[in-house]
Amino acid sequence: MTVHMPSETENVARVLADATSRHFGAPATIERLSRQSGGASRQTWSFDALVDGERHALILRRDPPTQGKTDRERAVAIDRATEFRVLQAAHAAGVRSPEPLFELTAQDALGEAYVMRRIGGIAIARKLLRDPPYEAARGKIASQLGEILARIHATDTATLPSLVRREAADHIAELRRSLDMLGRPQPVFELALSWLDRRKPAPLARPVLVHGDYRTGNYLVDESGVTTILDWELAHLGDPVEDLGWLCVKSWRFGAIDKPAGGFGTREELWAAYERAGGGKVDPTRAHWWEVFGTVHWGVICLNQAFKHLSGSIKSMEHASIGRRAVETEVDLLQLLKQGV
């Protein structure tokens, strides 16, 4: 007698059929289910649900119950239930973001998971920066990113779930803890963190919803421009300029180094669009501070990605190799610190 052991994909499909049927109140058939890129601990699956003859393009975001997250992931990233509520608030506030539909329950046994609508477009910077179909979109992206960011920051914080408030000082302390944990001396990062510490902006009286990972690679674009903002798992409350600075970190220009706004425009274009759309007036000194911070931040993330492999929490050549990208941010930091502002 042969016993059929369902594969993980078959299991996910079965659970999704049940949960999607419950949500739509009619039987659902699941098609084209496939796992997208992403880590073992934080999975994204794409699928279609056929309900009453209508096809719904959907995404499952899922943290399996047993996969270990690193301590740092646990410390900085929000859980899926919180992410679902952040998406609800942002979507309701008119942000171009995926519409969250429903959460899976403990009985579904997929771990922390929810389903949202899938939106068209691609995120791959190399294609967006060079391929012909995106020619017209390229000229608009910097402004669109400014407008959308103003909307994100205008989200009524009363509609948000409980989020960590992270000010400049908290970020600096977190990166220093990270460097101590990694154990190798990093003089350039230490220099930059002390530079940042001496100049850190005062906490805001009213912190806003900060996306936390607002950069090229984390939004989708079609021929008309930006369609949706993805990857909300680092959302927190804090300084809106943090997102503007992060978007301008050189690593997100993917070679288009003369276009600081994510590889698509100038800082001034980005800021002007942000201000026109109701965002606060951008102080260039504050923006420079967050750009320097973002550069150290990405450098430490590179080291941490390698450490995930080195510590044995995941086995990944790709993660290991990212460790050798940290020096790119050291080059950038030495340049940035000389610019002053």
Partner 1 sequence: MAQDRPSAAELLTAIADFLREEATPALDQAEPRLGFQMRVAVNSLAILEREVRLGPAADAREHERLVRLLGHEATLDELNKELARQLRTGERDESDAALMAHLDATIADKIAIANPKWR
CB of 194 to partner 1, least distance (A): 6
- Please count the residues of this chain forming the interface with partner 1, following the rule CB under 8 A: 24
**In the set 44, 51, 195, 277, which binds partner 1 (CB under 8 A)?**
195
Q: Which residues does residue 208 pair with via DSSP β-bridges, in sequence order?
A: 238
Q: Cβ closer to partner 1: 5 or 317? A: 317
* 193 in contact with partner 1 (CB under 8 A): yes
CB of 304 to partner 1, least distance (A): 17
Q: Cβ closer to partner 1: 194 or 311? A: 194
* 103 in contact with partner 1 (CB under 8 A): no
* 295 in contact with partner 1 (CB under 8 A): no
Q: Cβ closer to partner 1: 277 or 314? A: 314
User: Distance between CA atoms of 70 and 84, rounded to whole angstroms?
Assistant: 21
* 187 in contact with partner 1 (CB under 8 A): yes
* Farthest CA pair distance, the chain: 74
User: Distance between CA atoms of 304 and 309, rounded to whole angstroms?
Assistant: 9
User: Distance between CA atoms of 339 and 142, rounded to whole angstroms?
Assistant: 23
* 339 in contact with partner 1 (CB under 8 A): no
**In the set 4, 198, 206, 281, which binds partner 1 (CB under 8 A)?**
198
* 194 in contact with partner 1 (CB under 8 A): yes
Residue 325: partners with Cβ closer than 8 Å, 6 or more residues away: 251, 302
Helix H or strand E segment including 157: none
For residues 297 to 336, the per-residue mask of contacts with partner 1, x marking binding by CB under 8 A and - elsewhere, is --------------------xx-xx--xx-xx-xx--x--
Tokens of 124: 């791959």
Among the candidate windows 54-62, 107-115, 145-153, 182-190, which touches partner 1 by CB under 8 A? 182-190
Task: For the beta carbon of residue 131, count every other beta carbon within 10 angstroms.
Answer: 12
User: Distance between CA atoms of 202 and 21, rounded to whole angstroms?
Assistant: 50
* 164 in contact with partner 1 (CB under 8 A): no
For residues 240 to 279, the per-residue mask of contacts with partner 1, x marking binding by CB under 8 A and - elsewhere, is -----------------x----------------------
Distances (CA, A) of 65 to 80, 307, 313: 12, 22, 15
Give the interface with partner 1 as residue ranges (CB under 8 A). 176, 185-188, 190-191, 193-195, 198, 257, 317-318, 320-321, 324-325, 327-328, 330-331, 334, 337
